[in-house]
Amino acid sequence: MGSFLCDVLSIEHEVAIYDTNIERLRFTFNALRFTTMDEIREFAPEVLINAVTVKYTISAFESVLPYLPEKCLLSDIASVKTGLPEFYKECGHPFVSSHPMFGPTFASLSNLSSENAIIISEGDYMGRVFFRDLYNKLHLNIREYTFAEHDETIAYSLSIPFASTLVFAGVMKHQDAPGTTYKRHMAIAQGLMSEDDYLLQEILFNPHTNKQLDLIKEKLTHLQEIIDAKDSEAMKAFLEEVRNNLK
C-alpha cells in the first residue's frame, strides 16, 4: 500500500519514500528515495504517511518523530487502530487516520470503484479533507467512523471472513476433482495466505474479534444440531435466515 500511495500521490505532490530495507526502494517511481532519518529532516514533510506493517505502526512513528517539523501531519492506514488514539493524543502533532480497505492480493488497483475506504472522524479536519479528496479521485466508497467504530466494523468485516477461511483451509484435503464452490473457496484461501502474517495476526487480535468468533461458533453449533437431527423444517428456516442476511 505504501508503494501504491507513493505512485498515486507523486502525480500531484512532491513525494519521498523511506524504508529500512533498501531493496524495497529499487522500483519506486517518481519519488525521492531516503535511507536515513536525516534525509527526512532535510525534506521537512508536511504530511507523513505511515504504511508499515500494523505491528510496527506506533514504533515507526516514534522513531521518526524527532526528525519531523512541528506541524507535520501524521497519518496511518492501519487496518486495526488499537493503541493509536492514545499515541496521537500524546504525540504533539496533528493527525489523520484512514483505512483503504483493499490490497494488491484481491483488488484490481486499476478499478477501485467497488472498493471502500474508512476515514476516522476524530482526526485533523484538513487532513480528513486531503484523504477524502484522494480517495474520491480513486473512486473509492468512503465512510467515516470513530476509532472505536472502525475496530468494531473491522472485527465484523475482516475477522469473520479471515477466521472462516482459516478454518476451511485448516481442515481441507486435496481434491482430484474439486467442484466450483470448493475451487472458489480455495482461491480465497490462497489469496488470504499470501498476505503478510503480521497483518493476519493483527486483524485477528483485534479486541472485538472474540465476540464475532462466538457468533460463528453459535451458528455452527446450531447448524450441526440441525444436521444431526435431520430436521428439514429447521434447515429450511436456517437457509431462509441466511438468504435474508445476504439481501
**pLDDT tens, 68-112?**
999 999 999 998 898 999 999 999 999 999 999 886 555 556 678
Q: How much is the pLDDT for 170?
A: 92
Which contacts qualify for 102-110: CB closer than 8 Å, 24 or more apart? 102/140, 103/1, 103/195, 104/4, 105/191, 105/192, 105/194, 105/195, 106/191, 109/4
Please write the tens of the pLDDT for every residue from 137-175. Answer: 999 999 999 999 999 888 888 888 999 999 999 998 887
Q: How much is the pLDDT for 105?
A: 53
Whether the predicted pLDDT of 17 surpasses 60: yes
Q: How much is the pLDDT for 143?
A: 95
Residue 220 pLDDT class (50, 70, 90 cuts):
very high
Other CB atoms within 10 Å distance of the CB of residue 61: 22
The pTM of the full predicted model, rounded to 2 decimals, is 0.79
Q: How much is the pLDDT for 110?
A: 66
Tell me how many degrees the CA angle 128-130-155 measures, rounded to the nearest 5: 45
> Please, which residues bridge with residue 100 across strands?
117
Summary mean pLDDT of the chain? 91
Q: How much is the pLDDT for 90?
A: 96
Other CB atoms within 10 Å distance of the CB of residue 224: 10
Whether the predicted pLDDT of 1 surpasses 90: no
Whether the predicted pLDDT of 207 surpasses 90: no
Residue 247 pLDDT class (50, 70, 90 cuts):
confident
CA 158 and chain centroid, separation? 8
Q: How much is the pLDDT for 234?
A: 96
Whether the predicted pLDDT of 118 surpasses 90: yes
Q: Which residues contact 105 (CB under 8 A, 6 or more apart)?
A: 191, 192, 194, 195
Q: How much is the pLDDT for 200?
A: 86
Greater confidence, 197 or 107?
197
